[in-house]
C-alpha cells in the first residue's frame, strides 16, 4: 500500500527487517540484511520507525495478571463440583439395588408360576385317577351313598378337599417371593 | 515440564496430573483468554472454566495431541462460547462493523492521561479479530511467535504474516501524515 512512501522499506526485505530487530533471523540471513540496511536509507528509516512503534505498542498494551487466589478459587469450585458427583454415585447405587430387587421378584414370580403349574397338573391327575376308581366301583359307591352313612362319607370327602387346599395355600405362601 | 504430567497421566493418576497442570498452564491460559476476551475479569472466569473442563476431561485425554495444544483448544472454545453468549451477532472480523467501532470508541472512554496510548489501543481495536488476538498475545508472551502459534492453534508462518500485517497497518494509521507526505 505504501511502497511509494518515503518510510516504506524495500518490499523484499520487509519481513526480514522485523525479524532482524526481534533477533529471530538465522546468522547468515541476519548478516545479509544488516549489509542491506547499511546501504539503504529507506529500510534504515523504516526499521527505526518500526522499532519505535513496536516499543510504543508493547508499552501501551495492558499486561494483566491472574489474581493471587486463582488456584484457591478453582479448588473450591472443583470441590463443589465433586459433591454432586458423590450424590449421583449414591443415586446410581440405589438404582442398581432397585434393579437387583426387581429382577429377584421376577425370578420369584416365575418360580411360583412353575409350582402352580405343577400343582395344577398333580390335582388334575389325582382327580382323573379318583374318577377312574369311582367309575370302576360305581355300584358299590352307589350303595354306599344311598346308605345311612351317606352324610359322613360326603363330609369326609369335603373335609379332605378343604385340608388339601389349605395345605397347598400354606406351602405356597411360605415360599419366598424374591430371591 | 509436561513430562511429569504425562507420566502421571500414563499411570492413570489424573488427580496428581491435574495438580501439576494448573500451575504449569494457568498464566498462559489466562493470557490467551485475555487476548480473546479483552477483559481481565472475563479472562479469569474463562481460565477457571477452562480448568474445570480440563479436570473433567483429563481422564479421557488420549495424548494424540500435545497436552498444551489440547488445553489451549479448550481455552479458545471456552472464550468463543463466552463471546457468543455476550453478543450472538458480533463480527469483530469486520473492523468497519458497528460493533467494532463501538468497541473502539469504548477505549476512548478510559482515563485520558495518555492520549497517545489511548489512540494506539483504539487502533488495535479496529483490527480484524484474529489480528487483534495475535497482537495482544504476542506482546503478552514476550514476542514469542512460537508460543502465539501454539496457543492460537495456527502455523508459525501464518502467525508471522498475521502479526506483520497487523503491525504494518497500525503503523500506517498511527502515522498517516508521515506516510502520506512522501
Does residue B109 have a pLDDT over 60?
Answer: no
The 10s digit of each residue's pLDDT in A82-97 is: 876 667 777 888 888 8
User: Higher model confidence: residue B14 or residue A148?
Assistant: B14
The 10s digit of each residue's pLDDT in B144-177 is: 999 999 999 999 999 999 999 999 999 988 875 5
Q: CA-nearest residue of chain A to B50?
A: A74
How many Cα atoms are found within 13 Å in the side-chain-facing hemisphere of A60?
22
pTM recorded for the entire structure: 0.65
Does residue A175 have a pLDDT over 80?
Answer: no
* List of chain B residues whose C-beta atoms are within 8 Å of the C-beta of residue A62: 40
Task: Say what the pLDDT of residue B140 is.
Answer: 95
Q: Which residues contact B168 (CB under 8 A, 6 or more apart)?
A: A14
Does residue B39 have a pLDDT over 80?
Answer: yes
The 10s digit of each residue's pLDDT in A37-48 is: 999 999 999 999
- Measure the CA–CA gap between B87 and B78, rounded to whole angstroms: 15
Query: Does A79 contact chain B (CB < 8 Å)?
Result: no
Does residue A76 have a pLDDT over 50?
Answer: yes
Task: Say what the pLDDT of residue B177 is.
Answer: 55
What is the average pLDDT across A25-43?
Answer: 93
B89: cell is: 451477532
- Label residue B37 left, alpha or beta by phi (over 0 means left) and psi (-120 to 50 means alpha): alpha
Q: Which residues contact A23 (CB under 8 A, 6 or more apart)?
A: none
Whether residue A71 and residue B170 make contact (CB cut-off 8 A), yes or no, is no
Query: Does A91 contact chain B (CB < 8 Å)?
Result: no
Does residue B102 have a pLDDT over 70?
Answer: no
Among the partner-chain residues A22, A59, A74, the one whose CB lies closest to the CB of B143 is A22
How far are the Cα atoms of A16, A17, A19, A170 from residue A29, in angstroms, in the given order?
8, 10, 10, 103
- ipTM exceeding cut-off 0.90 for this assembly: no
Query: Does A49 contact chain B (CB < 8 Å)?
Result: yes
Among the partner-chain residues B30, B135, B140, the one whose CB lies closest to the CB of A66 is B30
Query: Does B120 contact chain A (CB < 8 Å)?
Result: yes
Q: Which of B53, B27, B45 is nearest to A78 (CA)?
A: B53
Quick one: pLDDT band at residue A177, thresholds 50, 70, 90? Answer: low
**Largest Cα span, chain B:** 66
Quick one: pLDDT band at residue B81, thresholds 50, 70, 90? Answer: very high
Residue % of chain A over a pLDDT of 90: 34
* List of chain B residues whose C-beta atoms are within 8 Å of the C-beta of residue A49: 171, 175, 178
Any idea what the Cα angle at residue A13 is, between residues B35 and B94, rounded to 5°?
A: 35
Q: Which of B120, B104, B100, B129 is nearest to A61 (CA)?
A: B120
- Label residue B63 left, alpha or beta by phi (over 0 means left) and psi (-120 to 50 means alpha): left
- Measure the CA–CA gap between B2 and A161, rounded to whole angstroms: 84
Does residue B1 have a pLDDT over 70?
Answer: no
The 10s digit of each residue's pLDDT in B13-25 is: 889 999 999 999 9
Whether residue A74 and residue B171 make contact (CB cut-off 8 A), yes or no, is no
Amino acid at each position: 500500500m505504501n511502497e511509494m512512501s518515503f518510510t516504506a522499506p524495500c518490499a523484499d526485505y520487509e519481513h526480514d527487517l522485523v525479524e532482524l530487530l526481534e533477533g529471530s533471523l538465522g546468522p547468515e540471513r541476519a548478516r545479509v540484511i544488516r549489509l542491506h540496511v547499511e546501504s539503504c536509507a529507506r529500510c534504515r528509516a523504516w526499521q527505526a520507525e518500526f522499532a519505535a512503534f513496536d516499543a510504543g505498542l508493547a508499552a501501551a498494551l495492558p499486561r494483566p495478571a491472574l489474581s493471587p487466589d486463582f488456584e484457591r478459587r478453582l479448588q473450591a469450585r472443583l470441590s463443589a463440583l465433586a459433591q454432586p458427583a458423590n450424590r449421583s454415585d449414591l443415586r446410581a447405587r440405589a438404582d442398581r439395588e432397585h434393579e437387583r430387587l426387581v429382577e429377584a421378584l421376577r425370578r420369584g414370580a416365575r418360580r411360583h408360576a412353575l409350582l402352580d403349574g405343577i400343582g395344577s397338573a398333580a390335582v388334575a391327575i389325582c382327580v382323573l385317577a379318583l374318577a377312574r376308581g369311582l367309575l370302576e366301583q360305581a355300584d358299590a359307591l352307589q350303595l354306599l351313598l344311598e346308605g345311612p352313612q351317606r352324610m359322613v362319607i360326603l363330609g369326609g370327602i369335603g373335609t379332605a378337599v378343604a385340608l388339601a387346599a389349605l395345605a397347598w395355600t400354606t406351602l405356597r405362601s411360605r415360599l419366598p417371593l424374591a430371591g | 515440564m509436561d513430562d511429569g504430567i504425562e507420566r502421571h497421566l500414563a499411570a492413570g493418576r489424573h488427580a496428581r496430573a491435574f495438580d501439576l497442570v494448573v500451575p504449569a498452564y494457568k498464566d498462559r491460559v489466562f493470557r490467551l483468554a485475555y487476548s480473546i476476551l479483552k477483559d481481565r475479569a472475563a479472562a479469569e472466569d474463562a481460565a477457571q472454566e477452562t480448568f474445570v473442563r480440563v479436570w473433567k476431561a483429563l481422564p479421557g485425554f488420549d495424548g494424540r495431541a500435545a497436552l498444551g495444544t489440547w488445553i489451549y483448544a479448550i481455552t479458545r472454545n471456552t472464550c468463543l462460547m463466552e463471546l457468543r453468549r455476550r453478543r450472538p451477532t458480533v463480527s469483530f472480523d469486520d473492523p468497519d462493523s458497528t460493533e467494532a467501532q463501538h468497541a473502539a470508541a469504548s477505549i476512548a472512554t478510559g482515563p485520558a492521561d495518555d492520549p497517545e496510548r489511548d489512540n494506539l489501543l483504539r487502533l488495535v481495536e479496529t483490527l480484524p479479530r484474529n489480528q487483534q488476538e495475535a497482537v495482544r498475545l504476542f506482546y503478552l508472551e514476550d514476542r514469542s511467535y512460537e508460543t502465539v502459534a501454539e496457543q492460537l492453534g495456527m502455523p508459525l508462518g501464518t502467525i508471522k504474516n498475521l502479526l506483520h500485517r497487523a503491525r504494518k497497518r497500525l503503523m500506517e494509521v498511527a502515522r498517516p501524515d508521515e506516510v502520506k507526505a512522501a
